[in-house]
Amino acid sequence: MCGITGYTGSGSALPFLLQGMKCLEYRGYDSAGITLVDASMTTWKAKGRITELEKMLDAEHCPEHTGIGHTRWATHGVPSQLNAHPHNNMDDTISIIHNGIIENYVELKRELTGKGYVFSSQTDSEVVVHLIDDCFRENGHDMLKALETAVKRLQGSFALCIVTTYEKDKVYCAKKESPLVLGHSAEGSFCASDPTALLAYTREILAMEDGQIAVLTRDRIELYDFEGNPLPVSFVHYPYDAESAQQGGYDSFMRKEIHEQPDAIRGTLRGRFDAEDHLIMDEIESLNLDWDHLHRVYFIACGTAYHASIYGRTLLQRAAHISCIAEPASEFRYEDPIVDEHTLCIFVSQSGETADTLAAVRLARERHAATIALTNVLGSSISRMCDATIYTCAGPEIAVASTKAYTTQLVMLVCIDLKIAEKLHAVFPEEEKIIRSLKELPQIVEKTLDLEAQIEEYAGLLVDQHDAYFIGRQLDYPTALEGALKLKEISYVHADAYYAGELKHGPIALIEPDTVVVAIATQKDVASKTFSNMQETLARGANVIFLTDADTDARDFRRVVRIPACMEALAPIPAAVLLQELAYFTAKGKGCDIDKPRNLAKSVTVE
Ligand code: M6R
């Protein structure tokens, strides 16, 4: 999704803006632009990559101390130079960048056109600059007042940064339902849509709340609510440095992040056990919830995080015998879900900014459910909306394809399920063994990564395929879904996942000689059933890649990948790592842009 950067300080603005925009490239974009401001203001915009924009800039002759930069991912209006941000007012004295969607832009555009404003783009965002211009004139050229008036007229979501020639040493920001973070150092003040863009300059970070306006100057940052009342400003020390958000010698962020999983799991489990190996989950302990009258638990998320949710719900329902439902966030709101004060909703989101997931949180809160966020991003919107937040400490995940966020979500969902079962007085099967195995997981994942030569060889089968099928039962089903999603999103091989038993009810019609079927059977009580389904595909000439545990008899199958010894309940974690690698090597074999797959964005901040 779109990326925002802004700077005002003693240095020149351009280097920060460009490096920040490059840090945000991973979110996905189709055009980029910059405004630098001094006594006058200059705006450059280019369709395509940031390098196209750089070709237009004479960086050595850009000493301006204030500026804003934007990477755009088209929602309203085609990707083009005209539609790229920043958007300027008609006399080039005010320039804005915008993330989000202005829902009432048609009505505002009509009104502003009636007042003589001329629009030059097809975007919803351009109304913002003309509206601010109008409010600026009506409020005696007071930008703070103009902004207060303008934001109240905007419906929808926005993260806005504004510069003006009237105050060339300031950047104004405003936020509603779209992320915006601020940073400050001795050099000046910064803003961005994501902390990773700030880390090379400062780790003192403030995540703006909805309904806030910020005024950035070289020496300080001021915060106001939409009524103009001043608010306290306090920064949080961000725990990651710029290095941890860089590629560090790997050919892609995805590969780096796959290999970071042992450490990500270690970090996620750090501090979660006391000396007697009892689980520490204060976030759940302190939840204001009548556990004795809890009727159901929802797990709500999108994409990869939704697959993690299916795993979390399956484990919990088995252990606690309470109704557990996994629901895609994009559907949840429209289903009139049975959600009330006897409901616990667990929202899973790597970024904590996914619009559909945040909308689902709002609904759950309206209906008085208890809410827990499971996220990877400190201070993300979701963490500020839910009753409790539990973090996966996976470190920044840059590649669009989620890897370490997924496995750490599974790890933390096991912990959450264990604690919920305890609160419900349920006996979690093999609890002690699970805790021991959780602690061994980093080593198990390290050993899993040693299998990559074998996975690379099998990926060769997929490179020239149009389709692939992933099958599994029980806890292997979310792994199949996730394996299929990884493959399609980065290698563009069409992949479907099915419950293994469902294959014969239709999809088997698609199996023909050399079709690749990836079968996952790590769950002993259903493994023999999955074998039969695999045999059915073998009989039709499929190339089966079989992921199973250390000791299952797999002599009938040619391509068997054995997951290092691991407790059954946790086997989906190393299994997911193998499928991430299968997708990675397939995409690499096809020469795909692994970190920036087409049409996708890291953080999906529109519904
Ligand atoms: O940030 P979130 O976890 O809320 O994102 C949800 C999905 O957009 C995300 O998992 C997406 O499916 C990934 N690109 C998958 O690799």
List, in sequence order, every residue forming a beta bridge with 216; answer none if it has no partner: 171, 221
Q: Give the separation between CA 545 and CA 527, rounded to whole angstroms.
A: 15
For the CA of 403, the nearest atom of ligand 1: 16
Asked if residue 101 has pLDDT above 90, the reply is: no
**Residue owning the nearest CA to atom 8 of ligand 1:** 303
CB 209 within 8 A of CB 175: yes
Q: Give the separation between CA 24 and CA 2, rounded to whole angstroms.
A: 8
From 491, 604, 607, give the residue whose CB has the most ligand 1 atoms within 8 Å, as the site to mutate: 604
For the CA of 301, the nearest atom of ligand 1: 4
Among 133-147, 242-256, 403-417, 500-514, the minimum mean pLDDT is found in 242-256
Q: Give the separation between CA 427 and CA 323, rounded to whole angstroms.
A: 16
Q: What is the pLDDT of residues 152-194, one digit of tens each?
A: 999 988 999 999 999 999 999 999 988 899 999 999 999 999 8
pLDDT band per the 50, 70, 90 thresholds, residue 308: very high
Q: Give the separation between CA 206 and CA 464, rounded to whole angstroms.
A: 48
Does residue 400's CB lie within 6 angstroms of at least one atom of ligand 1? yes
Asked if residue 605 has pLDDT above 80, the reply is: no
Asked if residue 79 has pLDDT above 90, the reply is: no
Closest C-alpha to 381, from 595, 225, 159, 105:
159
CB 299 within 8 A of CB 412: no
From 27, 332, 351, give the residue whose CB has the most ligand 1 atoms within 8 Å, as the site to mutate: 351
H or E element that contains 55: helix 50-56
Does residue 484's CB lie within 6 angstroms of at least one atom of ligand 1? no
Q: What is the pLDDT of residue 248?
A: 65
DSSP per residue, 342-360 = TEEEEEEESSS--HHHHHH
Residues with Cβ within 8 Å of 37's Cβ and at least 6 positions away in sequence, in order, are: 64, 66, 67, 95, 163, 164, 165, 168
User: Which burial class, exposed, middle or buried, applies to 434 when counting CB atoms under 10 A from its CB (0-12, 13-18, 19+)?
Assistant: buried
Asked if residue 76 has pLDDT above 80, the reply is: no
CB 32 within 8 A of CB 20: no
> Residue 504 CB: number of other CB atoms within 10 A?
14
Q: What is the pLDDT of residue 534?
A: 87
Helix (H, G, I), strand (E, B) or coil at 584: helix
Q: What is the pLDDT of residues 335-375, one digit of tens each?
A: 899 999 999 999 999 999 999 999 999 999 999 999 999 99
**Residue owning the nearest CA to atom 12 of ligand 1:** 303
Does residue 302's CB lie within 6 angstroms of at least one atom of ligand 1? yes
Q: Give the separation between CA 258 and CA 527, rounded to whole angstroms.
A: 27
**HSE-CB of 295 using CA atoms within 13 angstroms:** 7
CB 519 within 8 A of CB 486: no
**Residue owning the nearest CA to atom 9 of ligand 1:** 303
Cα 604 to ligand 1 centroid, rounded to whole Å: 8
Sheet-wide strand order for 323-328: 323-328, 296-301, 343-349, 370-375, 388-391
**Residue owning the nearest CA to atom 11 of ligand 1:** 303
SS3 for 221-238 is: EEEEECCCCEECCCCEEC
Tell me 244's DSSP state.
G
Q: Decide if 3-245 and 250-446 have a common fold.
A: no
Q: Give the separation between CA 76 and CA 255, rounded to whole angstroms.
A: 33
Cα 24 to ligand 1 centroid, rounded to whole Å: 16
Q: What is the pLDDT of residues 128-144, one digit of tens each?
A: 999 999 999 999 999 99
> Residue 585 CB: number of other CB atoms within 10 A?
22
450-592: in CATH 3.50.50.60: no
User: Which burial class, exposed, middle or buried, applies to 477 when counting CB atoms under 10 A from its CB (0-12, 13-18, 19+)?
Assistant: buried
Closest C-alpha to 133, from 109, 157, 150:
150
Does residue 489's CB lie within 6 angstroms of at least one atom of ligand 1? yes
Closest C-alpha to 168, from 143, 202, 133:
143
Residues with Cβ within 8 Å of 426's Cβ and at least 6 positions away in sequence, in order, are: 319, 320, 321, 322
CB 99 within 8 A of CB 158: yes
> Residue 80 CB: number of other CB atoms within 10 A?
16
Domain definitions of the chain by residue range:
3-245, 250-446, 450-592
Does residue 408's CB lie within 6 angstroms of at least one atom of ligand 1? no
> Residue 330 CB: number of other CB atoms within 10 A?
20
Asked if residue 242 has pLDDT above 80, the reply is: no
Known catalytic residues are: 2, 602
Work out the mean pLDDT of the chain and round it to a whole number. 93
H or E element that contains 256: helix 253-259
Mean pLDDT of 51-67: 90
For the CA of 350, the nearest atom of ligand 1: 3
Q: How far is CA 545 from the centre of its chain?
A: 30
Q: What is the pLDDT of residues 559-601, one digit of tens each?
A: 999 999 999 999 999 999 999 999 999 999 999 999 888 888 7
Q: Give the separation between CA 157 and CA 177, rounded to whole angstroms.
A: 5
Q: What is the pLDDT of residues 370-410, one digit of tens each?
A: 999 999 987 788 998 999 999 998 988 989 999 999 999 99
Mean pLDDT of 422-440: 94
H or E element that contains 404: helix 404-423
CB 223 within 8 A of CB 212: yes
Cα 375 to ligand 1 centroid, rounded to whole Å: 11
User: Which burial class, exposed, middle or buried, applies to 52 when counting CB atoms under 10 A from its CB (0-12, 13-18, 19+)?
Assistant: middle
Q: Where are the beta strands (DSSP E) in 62-211?
A: 66-72, 87-88, 94-99, 158-164, 167-176, 181-184, 188-192, 204-207
Asked if residue 533 has pLDDT above 90, the reply is: no
Asked if residue 64 has pLDDT above 90, the reply is: yes
pLDDT band per the 50, 70, 90 thresholds, residue 127: very high
57 vs 26, higher pLDDT: 57
Closest C-alpha to 604, from 349, 299, 255:
349
250-446: in CATH 3.40.50.10490: yes
Long-range own/partner contacts, residues 331-339 (CB < 8 A, 24 or more apart): 332/298, 332/300, 332/360, 332/363, 333/359, 333/360, 333/363, 337/298, 337/363, 338/296, 339/298, 339/363, 339/364, 339/367, 339/369
Q: What is the pLDDT of residue 462?
A: 96
pLDDT band per the 50, 70, 90 thresholds, residue 61: confident
Cα 402 to ligand 1 centroid, rounded to whole Å: 6
Beta strand 181-184 pairing with 167-176: unpaired
Q: Extract the tokens encoding 75.
A: 């929602």
From 178, 304, 351, give the residue whose CB has the most ligand 1 atoms within 8 Å, as the site to mutate: 304
Q: What is the pLDDT of residue 450?
A: 96
Q: 3-245 has which fold? A: Glutamine Phosphoribosylpyrophosphate, subunit 1, domain 1 (3.60.20)
Rounded to 5°, the CA angle 588-199-267 comes to: 70
Cα 302 to ligand 1 centroid, rounded to whole Å: 6
Cα 303 to ligand 1 centroid, rounded to whole Å: 5
Q: Give the separation between CA 42 and CA 583, rounded to whole angstroms.
A: 44
Q: Give the separation between CA 563 and CA 572, rounded to whole angstroms.
A: 10
Q: For tokens 């190996």, what's the residue?
A: 277
pTM, full prediction = 0.75
Q: Give the separation between CA 492 and CA 485, rounded to whole angstroms.
A: 10
Q: Give the separation between CA 231 and CA 403, rounded to whole angstroms.
A: 38
Does residue 83's CB lie within 6 angstroms of at least one atom of ligand 1? no
